[in-house]
Chains A and B, each alone.
Chain A
């Protein structure tokens, strides 16, 4: 087997055989899955708190209003779950409609709509566990005189070993509006406090509107009103209203640019550490007696590329499979965008160019260093340079044709990230794509040349790394 491939294989296997590699490989999909499951588990494992509401003082009663709003909380949670449930089968737009319907008409109507548009998904619906349940106020509390005596009774009730209540809400009207004292069995649990606070805010608002002559129904309607503001563009797929699908290319571009950045950064850092380890362990000199510097550099760059590619394929495969299972419409849209106009080909070119430019540079720096501290002199400015495309990509997400983003796209070191972010949104001409890509590969070849000379000199050198020594190495070659 060719020496380059032997070195690449060793590099790949050195990482693949470690526990850390498998932990890293599996951690992202695991956390991504947990990210979806944990909120649901947390919602269902939360205890249902028994809450008694007591009217303390005279004035317009608050109890009925607060109880109504505490009960409504449970129904709102049901609507949230139903609208999330329909996404895989009916899409994001349909989910928004179910959410709006549920907020207006209640969870029963939302569920009926969900059963109509996403029957399979809706058949799996289970109402989430309520976090609050209204309970009868114990006689002892009602019988006690308002004030300290009543609060003493409440304290004893919540402190009892076999208590039936988790919280008691004492409502009162103060001079500046409704107020409450919430007694909770657990000092750290502020769920009831938050719920009562929200309920009193709503009641106060309704009362103030009423004082101004606006009826309760009108207030409710105003609150439930969601204006339909449509974004229209002649560039949208329908030629009119802009849908999520129309926004998808920009998101894909941004996502890919970020992924490429992470890939380059991770791969190049692995390479830097690997070369540094070989330099500090004095393996590099033995390798140099068996293979040329070019073969070693190429083998290592290739090995780490295979490593990062393996990670990307596994993550991409799992992510794709998850997306197909959870949201087939979105998956279909993403695939149709990726397969349009040779976008995948561009992405592959930018992966190759971007990785090559930075990987060889990091490897060459590593050849001069035995510890990360040795590498700081050169790595600091390189890292700062790598921050620029991350900032520019955020502009590219909204305005891919902004002058600032366009200019940066022509700088070869930023081309792979920014062009990846811009091309999917359209509006980038073939001349600009061809010219920037050619510039990127010219730069990559130049970097390979620089790195090859620096690597050769650095591998056997004992001198401390600095811009001067690195420059001398590039000029001197070997």
Chain B
């Protein structure tokens, strides 16, 4: 499959601070690629380098066949992490303006703006000023402004931040729509659930380095299933069950504990459960859990994606 984006041993330094280190990955054309990592992992710096807003200290970046994002900026749509639009503009004016900067004639830009706003349920708000819109509405408008020129490659930096669950769902649908249209989507997030639902592929980043590149299933496969057991059970008894490689106590309520038993690679959870009941362990609740992307991230990087890493200060 063609690559819309290819990074090869890319580094970025701000003075003494190394924000990105030897980063290489590929985003295939027409796919949704999640760029995951905690805050401060180097995601925004990488996205800015891809766009050509900042130069890489070393390494090579190829975007839509060009060696510099600025050469193909008309074919790229970008939604930055910190968002804002001209407060006194109407959504139609704002969308048409940003589309016009990408080469869409004003009339066509306005037509697309009206259609896209209508499709997102914002038809009634199209003549209001941006400052009169709710945060969720404004965020949708900004995403529309980023893609109204029908880009081949869309870069979204933390697109879900600050949105309520309803708007997050709407945004997920918009992103799927972009991919269905044939656009490549690269979005950064530190919330693994979105990536898990949306991405064909994920790139995990920790402390500026790539920790993993592959599909969500491949990422999950790097970590193992586990059993969650609740009852008056001793951790040692659970460790002795067949297939259990490691046990940790999650919660204690008097005599009642919640234990998490990680299963050995290839072990069946049912075997361990059967053995627990045969041994007469006081199991009051049990759940066989598949690992999430969040679990995989912790397993792969040793970091919690919700934690905040020391932030790179963009130097002058």
Contacts and interface: CB of A to CB of B under 8 A. Distances in A.
Interface residues of B, number: 30
Interface string A314-325: 000000000000
A289 B316 contact: no
A448 to B, nearest CB: 19
Contacts of B17: none
A461 B15 CA distance: 13
A469 B146 CA distance: 31
A400 interface: no
A290 B70 contact: no
A286 B80 contact: yes
A473 B314 CA distance: 11
A283 B85 contact: yes
B78 A286 contact: yes
A274 to B, nearest CB: 10
Main secondary structure of the interface of B (DSSP, over half): loop
A457 B314 CA distance: 9
Interface residues of A, number: 33
A3 interface: yes
Given A6-B100, A461-B316, A281 B54 contact: no
A472 B209 CA distance: 28
Contacts of B80: 282, 285-286, 289
Nearest to B85: A283
A373 B5 CA distance: 41
Contact of B83 (A282, A291, A457, A460): A282
Interface string B79-91: 0101111111100
B78 A289 contact: yes
A462 interface: yes
B315 A6 contact: no
B187 interface: no
B51 interface: yes
B316 A469 contact: yes
Nearest to A284: B84
Interface string A1-35: 10100110010001001100000000000000000
Interface of B: 48, 51, 53-55, 70, 73, 76, 78, 80, 82-89, 97-98, 100-102, 142, 145-146, 313-316
Interface of A: 1, 3, 6-7, 10, 14, 17-18, 280-283, 285-292, 368, 457-458, 460-463, 469-470, 472-473, 476, 478
Closest 4 CB pairs of A and B: A281-B84, A282-B84, A290-B101, A289-B78
Given A10-B97, A281-B86, 13 more contacts: A3-B101, A6-B100, A6-B101, A14-B86, A17-B88, A18-B88, A280-B84, A282-B82, A286-B80, A292-B70, A461-B314, A469-B316, A476-B316
